[in-house]
Every structure is written in C-alpha cells, then in structure tokens.
Amino acid sequence: MSDAAGRRRARGGGGAARRAARSAVSFDTAKYIERNIPNYEVLTEEALEIIERNAETLLEEIGVNFVNNPGACALWKEAGADVQGERVHIPRGLARKLCETAPSRFTQHARNPDRNVEIGGKSLVLAPVYGPPFVRDMAGGRRYATMADFRKFVKLGYMSKWLHHSGGTVCEPTDVAVNKRHLDMLQAHMTLSDKPFMGSVTEPSRAQDSVEMCEILFGRDFVQQNTVMTSLINVNSPLTFDDVMMGALEVYAKNNQACILSPFIVGGAMAPVSVVGTLTQVLAEVLAGIAYAQLVRPGAPVIFGAFVTSIDMNSGAPTFGTPEASQILYGAGQLARRMGLPFRSGGGLCGSKLPDAQAAYETTHTLNAALLGGVNFMLHACGWLEGGLVSSFEKFVMDADQLGTLHKMAAGVMADENAQAMDAIREVGPGGHYLGCAHTQANFQDAFWKTQLFDYKPFETWDEDGARDTMTLAAERVERLLADYQQPMLDPAINEALAGYVARKKASMPDSFT
C-alpha cells in the first residue's frame, strides 16, 4: 500500500460525494474547540507546590510498581531509578525531567484531513463514551452490547456535529470473541466514520494489530511520521502499572502514537478521600507513566489523564458529577499545565440508570468543569450512563447536542462595534423592542446557540404533540439519524485490504473470551 493510496481521502470528487452534498442531511463536523476564554483554577500556588513536592516524595520514598515487566524495570534502572524487584523508586526530579521530552501539543490525523484534531494548548477535542459492556435504549431497555450496537454508535458519532472524534470502545461488542473484537471495532471506526479514533489496549498484540490496520488506512510511512491514534492507558491506582497496559503503551510509543496516561480513581477507594491527597497520587502516577513513555521513545505524544470520581460512602458506589470530582478536575488541569502537557479529563459522567434529570444534572456539572478547567481531550463526552456500565443511545444524542453549548461558550465574548450594538439601542429606544431592528436582523442567525433536540414549543402545542419528554425526543432523533446515515467514501482498495486483514487475523486463532 503506497502512502498516496493510503492517504487518499473520502471527501472531494466522486459521484457519491456529490450526491451526499446535494442531500438534505448535513454531516458537518465542527472544528475542535479553541478556547478564547480563561481557565478556572481552584488551587493556590502554595497548594500546587505542596502537591508537586509531595508527589516527588511518593515517587522516591514509596515508589511505583511495574508488574511483570522486567524490561520496564531495566529501563528505569538505566535511567537512574532505584529498582527493588518490581518496585521502582524514582529519585526526586527524575520523572519530571524525563517528561520534558513529551510534546506540549500534537496533531492526531484523521483519514479525512478536515477532521484532524490538535490536542494541547487551548484546544478541546470531544470523543464519545468508552468501555460499557451494556447498551440501553427506550425500545430495548438494558442489554449486553453487540457489534451491531457498536456500529450504530460509530454512525451516530460520525453524524454528530459537535463530536470531533470517533472514540474507541464506544461499547464492548460482547458477541465477538475478546481476542478478535478489536479488529471489528477498528474496522468500524475506519470505514463507517472518517473522524480520528483510538487503538486497542487490551493486549500488546492488539495494539500492534491497531498499528498495522492504521498502516493500511494511512500508509506505513505516514503512520511512523504522524500520530493517527490516541489510546487510553489506565494506571492501576494506587501506584501500579500492569504489564498489559504498559505493553500496549510500549507498542504505541515506539510507533509514535499517542497515549493518555490516566489514573482511574474512585476517590476513597483507589486514592485518599481528600482532594489534595488524590491529586498528589494522580500527579505521581502520571509523572511515572509519562516518564516511562519517554524512556520508551523520547518525544512520544502523551496526555496527562485524570479520571477521578467520588464514592458514596454508604454503599461504596462510585458517584459522578459531584463537587469533589470537579475540584479534582480543576486541580489536575492546573498540574498538567504546569508540566506543559495536554490534559484529559471530564466527560458526560453520571451514575443514573436512565437518561433522566439525575443523569443530566451530573453530566452538566462535569461538562462545565471540563470546559473551564482546561481539558484538551474529553473522553466520554456523550453517551455515558450508569457509571460507565451502559452506553445509552438516547443519552448519546442528548449529550452530543449539549456539546454545542461548549463550543459557543468557548468562543468568548466579542466587543467590536457590531457587538456593542449602540445603533440598535439608539434605534429602539426606551419601551421599544428589538425583534425587528436592523442589528437583530443582521445578527440573529448566529447570535444564539441552537439545539437540535430540546423542545421550545408553547405548552399547548407540546401537549397536543404528545407531551414528549427529552428521552422520547432523543429516541426519535436516534432513529432519524440512523435512517439518514450515509457512509463516508473510502478507497475500495483500502476497504478490501482492511477486510482482508481482519479476516486473516480472525482465522489465525481460535475464539477466546478471556
């Protein structure tokens, strides 16, 4: 596969593309967000320095475990760490020093270059829910996710204007063998969407498969010279790096592909119950993880991740959209910016079983915190339900609609002559109204964010139309979008090569469900 063939893009010429352009259905995708607003910061300089000092103390004094990974331990030893069995004690300052080779921002390429995203700086890239073994919709209720569900979510993501990224495991296709489902998932992202996507991390060999499939899609040289996947490497908090996740990280780093180093923390269980204690542990873990990625390949693109929830101390259930989770998000953002690293956190997180008011309260708290807290890559931006156990079709389109508000908010406030609107106020005067004035007519099209989902009708009309709640409206929107879906163009040779790769790989091993 030549680079030229591999990088041929879907957009532009071709009868199908022209037919798509004429169609009433628009699949526009907004550019990733570039914030024109300040970040919100809750930690004082003093608190930040305490956390940074304590994190170094943890790394040196307690250390971190690299489990079943003699190669990692050898690299650390060579770099100057004190390695005792699997325990790596990192001298004060070493990890931070190693992190300096990580880029402060990078481009993740999509097969459609219009969909490329910049990750870092003032950017915010939105990606859908990741990981749930179940799906839910109004018609079918809650059930194990299948590959058919997976494909529907990829289609919905492709059609979501405010979603920049196709994501990764939008749900776990439980009807496909564990050792093969990554192939089907990647093929779906590559063929049903043209947005950027994530690679597999459940085995180093599956990370390697992800790289190889990208080489088919983008061309081998292109992949080695550019970042075409951003993948999710969870840290086993507290302070533990397992060989599966690190094995995947090693594959991606060696191939110049991006990894999110993300402590996965339910506060009070995997970290202390206090905000500053949790942030200290998060920072230590991220420092160690990113430093290791830089040991594998200096300059490998990485993201400072923080997935932190609080806990209901009565039941032990993780809780979402809480003030403590927002405080940790804000604080982690400050720590990431002080390291000059892209930052991942947030998402439409909630604990509710249904896409109801609880879900929306919880989700909106975190979406707002992520916007103001400087998140650069927001996984789970739409579709997350029930603490991440469920991908919800209705919530996917509900959240995806809300993501438009983040774009508008991030654009900030214009104060030019048109925005000052002095002529309008003069024209209307005391007691008048603005609906018909020249300034309103000239500006109303773009003045306000517009929903594609919510109901603004008068009560009587709404009532006559069936008094539908938001979930019902969302279910109708899901059906409509899936009916309107049109596959983005892809070079048939690439399509066949991908299918061939998947078929060969699947035939090469028996099904395994572990």
Choose the binding region for a second copy from 91-99, 108-116, 117-125, 420-428 (rule: CB under 8 A): 420-428
Question: By the 8 A CB rule, do 310 and 267 touch?
Answer: yes
**CB 401, min distance to a second copy, A:** 9
Pick from 128, 347, 355, 388 the residue near a second copy by CB under 8 A: 355
Pick from 316, 464, 480, 509 the residue near a second copy by CB under 8 A: 316
Q: Please report whether residue 315 would count as binding a second copy according to CB under 8 A.
A: yes
Q: Please report whether residue 424 would count as binding a second copy according to CB under 8 A.
A: yes
Q: Please report whether residue 139 would count as binding a second copy according to CB under 8 A.
A: no
Question: Would you say 61 or 100 has its CB closer to a second copy?
Answer: 61
| Structure-block tokens of residue 44 | 């004082």
Choose the binding region for a second copy from 52-60, 152-160, 182-190, 492-500 (rule: CB under 8 A): 52-60
Question: Would you say 55 or 213 has its CB closer to a second copy?
Answer: 55
Pick from 26, 82, 420, 500 the residue near a second copy by CB under 8 A: 420
Question: Would you say 23 or 44 has its CB closer to a second copy?
Answer: 44
For the range 68-74, what are the long-range contacts, defined as Cβ-Cβ under 8 Å and sequence gap of 24 or more? 68/242, 68/243, 69/241, 69/243, 69/246, 69/247, 71/250, 72/241, 72/246, 72/292
Choose the binding region for a second copy from 73-81, 177-185, 253-261, 313-321 (rule: CB under 8 A): 313-321
**CB 411, min distance to a second copy, A:** 8
Residue with tokens 């609609």: 401
**CB 62, min distance to a second copy, A:** 6
**CB 45, min distance to a second copy, A:** 11
CA 140, distance to chain mean position in Å, is 27
Q: What does the alpha-carbon distance between residue 332 and residue 338 come to, in Å, rounded to a whole number?
A: 10
DSSP character string of 220-240? HHHHHHSB-BEEEEEEBTTTE
For the range 495-501, what are the long-range contacts, defined as Cβ-Cβ under 8 Å and sequence gap of 24 or more? 495/191, 497/1, 497/216, 498/187, 498/190, 498/191, 498/213, 498/216, 498/217, 499/187, 501/183, 501/212, 501/213, 501/216
Q: Please report whether residue 319 would count as binding a second copy according to CB under 8 A.
A: yes
Give per-residue burial for 54-75: e unless 16+ CB within 10 Å, then b.
bbbebbbeebbbbbebeebbeb
Question: Would you say 101 or 405 has its CB closer to a second copy?
Answer: 405
**CB 322, min distance to a second copy, A:** 6
Interactions with a second copy, residue window 331-350 (CB under 8 A): 331
Q: What does the alpha-carbon distance between residue 351 and residue 383 come to, in Å, rounded to a whole number?
A: 12
Pick from 351, 374, 383, 388 the residue near a second copy by CB under 8 A: 351
- Nearest CA-CA partner of 363 in 336, 392, 331, 341: 392
Q: What does the alpha-carbon distance between residue 192 and residue 195 come to, in Å, rounded to a whole number?
A: 9
Interactions with a second copy, residue window 83-112 (CB under 8 A): 87
Interactions with a second copy, residue window 18-47 (CB under 8 A): 37-38, 40-44, 46-47
Choose the binding region for a second copy from 26-34, 76-84, 89-97, 404-412 (rule: CB under 8 A): 404-412
Residue 191 phi/psi, 5° resolution? Answer: -105, -30
**CB 300, min distance to a second copy, A:** 24
**CB 105, min distance to a second copy, A:** 24
**CB 76, min distance to a second copy, A:** 14
Question: Would you say 83 or 354 has its CB closer to a second copy?
Answer: 354
Q: Please report whether residue 494 would count as binding a second copy according to CB under 8 A.
A: no
| Structure-block tokens of residue 30 | 């907004």
Interactions with a second copy, residue window 143-172 (CB under 8 A): none
**CB 298, min distance to a second copy, A:** 26
Let me know if 473 is exposed, middle or buried by CB neighbors in 10 A (0-12, 13-18, 19+): buried
Q: What does the alpha-carbon distance between residue 387 and residue 511 come to, in Å, rounded to a whole number?
A: 29
Interactions with a second copy, residue window 181-210 (CB under 8 A): none
**CB 32, min distance to a second copy, A:** 17
| Structure-block tokens of residue 334 | 């400050």
Q: Please report whether residue 513 would count as binding a second copy according to CB under 8 A.
A: no
Let me know if 148 is exposed, middle or buried by CB neighbors in 10 A (0-12, 13-18, 19+): exposed
Pick from 5, 299, 361, 509 the residue near a second copy by CB under 8 A: 361
Site string for a second copy, 247-286 (x = CB under 8 A): --------------------xxxxxxxxxxxx-xx-----
Q: Please report whether residue 74 would count as binding a second copy according to CB under 8 A.
A: no
Q: What does the alpha-carbon distance between residue 304 and residue 377 come to, in Å, rounded to a whole number?
A: 10
Q: What does the alpha-carbon distance between residue 8 and residue 219 come to, in Å, rounded to a whole number?
A: 10
Q: What does the alpha-carbon distance between residue 453 and residue 466 come to, in Å, rounded to a whole number?
A: 15
Choose the binding region for a second copy from 95-103, 149-157, 223-231, 363-371 (rule: CB under 8 A): 363-371
Q: Please report whether residue 484 would count as binding a second copy according to CB under 8 A.
A: no
| Structure-block tokens of residue 310 | 């609080």
DSSP character string of 280-315? HHHHHHHHHHHHHHHHHSTT--EEEE-EEEEE-TTT
